[in-house]
Structure 1
Amino acid sequence: MELNVYLAGHIHGEWRKELKEKAKAMNLSVNFFSPMEEHDRSDYIGEEIIGEQPTPLQRDAVSASINNFRTQLLLEKSDAVIALFGDKYKQWNTAMDASAAISKNKPLILIRPQSLHHPLKELENKAQVTVETIDQALQVLSYVFEN
């Protein structure tokens, strides 16, 4: 068996790289998908494809439509979603992707520090599993492969 897992969360830092390396070390048969991690590419993809836009608002709108198209395709292809919430960055996209996973009935693992329990309580209630660390999320995936 092989799983396709979408990694929702901020695009800063190395958390996806860490998670993928640990999954590989655990010999988990998992393919990972994620949002565009190159921030400038994500912000300017609309203008790259459609052309220069007259205002920053319009630039954001055309880029958002293309990013949402990409995300929807990758979420549809995924068997499960891991959504990482951290303390450092705004988490709007993470919340949006986690909510989309729930609406698509994709099993969802939330990773969040204890300090975010209260603001995420409703989302946690809809997720299948809530953990505090990447290692715990990988243990959940590992358990799926046990006989």
Structure 2
Amino acid sequence: MIWNVYLSGEIHTDWRQRIIDGAEQQGLSIVFHSANTDHDASDAAGDVLRENESGFWRDHQSSKVNAIRTSTLIKQCDIGVVRFGDKYRQWNAAFDAGMLAALGKPFITLHDDSLIHPLKEVDGAAMAWAETPEQVVELLKYVTSK
């Protein structure tokens, strides 16, 4: 079986690549998917539809276009990994975790221990909490191996 893993969350560090590289080094049968991680392109996703003078309506429009991708990939995934960083608030990651939980999709949260309290409900719905991308790779190795 080839597993589909959805990587959600902060876009300012190399955590995604570390998981992808680690899974490749372990020879895991995993295909990884993610939201658009180019911040400027994501913000402009709906600009082709119409120009908006209001930041609210530009964000509203682009979020709907981005949701075409994210909701489809979340629905198709076997496992989600949701990363919360310490520098920015990842409201989109919390939303993705909620979608994963509502769809009955297992997911792993990835964050340091300083976020245990603020993420208690999210972690409560997760199947595991990891502090490093390398721990995520080990979890994926375990759950995807025969």
Instruction: Check whether TM > 0.5.
Output: yes
**Residues 42-72 of structure 1: CA distance to partner in whole angstroms, max 9, x if unpaired?**
0011012x12123222111110111112110
Correspondences of 1:89-108 after superposition (within 5 Å): 89-108=88-107
- Alignment identity in percent? 39
Give the Å deviation of 1:35. 0.8
DSSP-derived class of the 2:114 partner: helix
Give TM-score, length-normalised by structure 1. Answer: 0.94
User: Residue type of the partner of 2:131?
Assistant: E
2:33 matched to which residue of 1?
33
- What letter matches 2:51 in structure 1? E
Unaligned runs of 5+ in 2: none
Name the SS for the 1:61 alignment partner.
Answer: helix
Aligned to 2:11: 11
Give per-residue Cα distances to partners, 1:67-114, cap 9 Å, x unaligned. Answer: 112110010111110001121111211111111100111101111101
The question of 1:76 aligning with 2:38 is answered: no
Give the conservation status (yes or no) of the 8 Å contact 1:11–1:35: no
- List aligned pairs for 1:1-147, cutoff 5 A: 1-48=1-48, 50-147=49-146
Letter in 2 for 1:113: D
5+ residue gaps, structure 1, are none
CA shift at 1:146, angstroms?
3.1
Q: What secondary structure, in the 3-state scheme, does the structure 2 residue paired with 1:45 have?
A: coil
Question: Tell me, what secondary structure is at the counterpart of 2:59?
Answer: helix
Number of paired residues? 146
SS across alignment from 2:52:
coil
Contact 2:18/2:134 (8 A) holds in 1: no
Q: Distance in 1 between matches of 2:54 and 2:90?
A: 25
